């Protein structure tokens, strides 16, 4: 059917694209392709639920005789279970870890034990925005397992540096729903076409502009950030026509949505260490690593203010890290300022 559709138009669906790109991996068995397709299906299930979020109370009352508790389920728990089920029954991963669960899961089925990959995800990012109808997302990160094929997954499978990722992506549930992913061969974006229920290639080979005019930070925290971060934000606000400043401040409060906008338009997203959270708020394995992989593959950068995000060695599952991510020149500039001002502060 899709071949027919394609002959009729220039539509390339996510599944077609994944199959075509399998040739990028010599000796690939197709497992990673199937895993990406499973994630695509899970995200359509989540998307359906997200679209109905505003009707939750009304439908909840109407569906009260349905599966017990289902309508009362919080959306991030629903998304978590949708993803866990998709990857467990898809059989392409031996384990999964998610922001919503304290421990990782080792899937004890014959197919899963034999599989080569593990997945980590933030099932619903920006969950505080659900009730107010603002864009939210799902973020995922895939690694080749460290444990032996046939064994149960163990913690070392989940504590790998971001540089070891084999695939990463996100889904944004926005004015339209998009899935953006990389397998280390560039970044491609797909928009969900609701009338046919398929993700269709809409943003081929995405590149982030080297410079941007948008900075995204929760400025409410600014005076509890380091001197270097304060100096950079102040620099962004200064009036200088030659460098197109002042920049625009844009902060949605959903990392996926802020990152997605900056990826397309150029910009920097900052979640630094603060007095309250010295290691920042965002999670290295579920949020920062996957977006760092995408940023770098699109020509941008991601650091913790001192070093590359993807070089950080995770010590625990839910580790947090400061994040500076986006257009190359912007991330480099904030880095210089951090080095200059924060180092000076440490010496004094
Ligand atoms: P999550 O909903 O998965 O817990 O993530 C929320 C994160 C991220 O999406 C967002 O950028 C950040 O929290 C916003 O934090 P502040 O409200 O502190 O700015
Ligand atoms: Mn999140
Ligand atoms: Mn979340």
pLDDT score, position 194? 93
10-203 matches 214-347 in fold: no
Distance 11 CA to ligand 3 centre (A): 32
In this predicted model, what pLDDT tens digit does every residue of 132-154 receive, in sequence order?
899 999 999 999 999 999 999 99
Distance CA 95, CA 98 (A): 10
Length of the chain: 348
Q: Residue 9 pLDDT > 90, yes or no?
A: no
User: The domain at 10-203 falls in which architecture?
Assistant: 2-Layer Sandwich (3.30)
Task: Tell me what the pLDDT averaged over the chain comes to.
Answer: 91
Pocket of ligand 1, beta carbon within 6 A: 99, 122, 125-127, 218, 253-255, 281
Q: Residue 128 pLDDT > 90, yes or no?
A: no
- Residue 110 CB neighbour total at 10 angstroms: 8
Which atom belonging to ligand 1 lies closest to the Cα atom of 124?
Answer: 3
Are the C-beta atoms of residues 284 and 165 closer than 8 Å to each other?
no
CATH says 214-347 is which class? alpha beta
Q: Residue 67 pLDDT > 60, yes or no?
A: no
Averaged pLDDT for residues 226-247: 97
For residues 142-168, one letter each, b for 16 or more C-beta atoms within 10 angstroms of the residue's C-beta and e for the rest, the string is: bbebebeeeeebbeebbbbbbeebbbb
Model confidence at 26, in pLDDT bands (50, 70, 90)? Answer: low
Averaged pLDDT for residues 2-6: 51
Distance 334 CA to ligand 3 centre (A): 27
pLDDT score, position 63? 44
| Coil/strand/helix, residue 205 | coil
pLDDT score, position 29? 80
Among the residue ranges 74-83, 159-168, 241-250, the one predicted with the least confidence is 74-83
Domain boundaries, the chain: 10-203, 214-347
Which atom belonging to ligand 1 lies closest to the Cα atom of 252?
Answer: 11
Question: Which ligand is located closest to the Cα atom of residue 262?
Answer: 1
Question: Which ligand is located closest to the Cα atom of residue 271?
Answer: 1
pLDDT score, position 348? 52
Averaged pLDDT for residues 331-336: 97
Are the C-beta atoms of residues 178 and 171 closer than 8 Å to each other?
yes
In this predicted model, what pLDDT tens digit does every residue of 92-121 receive, in sequence order?
999 999 999 999 999 999 999 999 999 999
In this predicted model, what pLDDT tens digit does every residue of 162-198 receive, in sequence order?
999 999 999 999 999 999 999 999 999 999 999 999 9
Distance CA 136, CA 151 (A): 36
Distance CA 66, CA 261 (A): 39
In this predicted model, what pLDDT tens digit does every residue of 260-299 receive, in sequence order?
999 999 999 999 999 999 999 999 999 999 999 999 999 9
Distance CA 87, CA 76 (A): 17
């Amino acid at each position: 059917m899709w071949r027919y559709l394609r002959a009729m138009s220039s539509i390339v669906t996510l599944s077609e694209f994944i199959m075509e790109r399998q040739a990028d991996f010599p000796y690939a068995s197709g497992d990673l392709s199937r895993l990406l397709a499973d994630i695509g299906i899970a995200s359509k299930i989540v998307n359906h639920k997200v679209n109905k979020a505003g009707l939750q109370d009304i439908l909840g009352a109407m569906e009260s005789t349905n599966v017990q508790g289902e309508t009362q389920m919080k959306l991030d728990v629903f998304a978590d279970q949708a993803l866990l089920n998709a990857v467990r029954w898809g059989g392409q991963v031996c384990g999964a870890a998610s922001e919503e669960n304290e421990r990782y899961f080792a899937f004890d089925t014959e197919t899963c034990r034999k599989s080569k990959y593990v997945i980590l995800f933030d099932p619903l990012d920006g969950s505080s925005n659900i009730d107010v109808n603002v864009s939210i997302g799902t973020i995922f990160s895939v690694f080749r397992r460290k444990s032996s094929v046939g064994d149960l997954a163990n913690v070392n499978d989940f504590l790998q540096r971001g540089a070891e990722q084999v695939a990463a992506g996100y889904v944004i549930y926005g004015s339209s729903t998009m899935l953006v992913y990389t397998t280390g061969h560039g970044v491609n974006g797909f928009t969900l076409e609701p009338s046919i229920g398929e993700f269709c290639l809409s943003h081929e080979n995405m590149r982030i502009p080297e410079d941007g005019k948008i900075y995204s930070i929760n400025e409410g925290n600014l005076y509890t950030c380091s001197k270097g971060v304060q100096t950079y934000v102040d620099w962004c606000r200064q009036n200088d026509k030659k460098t197109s400043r002042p920049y625009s401040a844009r902060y949605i409060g959903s990392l996926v949505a802020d990152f997605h906008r900056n990826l397309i338009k150029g910009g920097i997203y900052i979640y630094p260490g603060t007095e309250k959270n010295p290691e920042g708020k965002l999670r290295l394995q579920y949020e920062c690593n996957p977006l760092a992989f995408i940023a770098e593959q699109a020509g941008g950068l991601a650091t913790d203010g001192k070093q590359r995000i993807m070089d950080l060695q995770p010590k625990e599952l839910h580790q947090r890290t400061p994040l500076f991510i986006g257009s190359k020149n912007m991330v480099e500039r904030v880095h210089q300022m951090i080095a200059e001002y924060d180092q000076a502060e440490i010496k004094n």
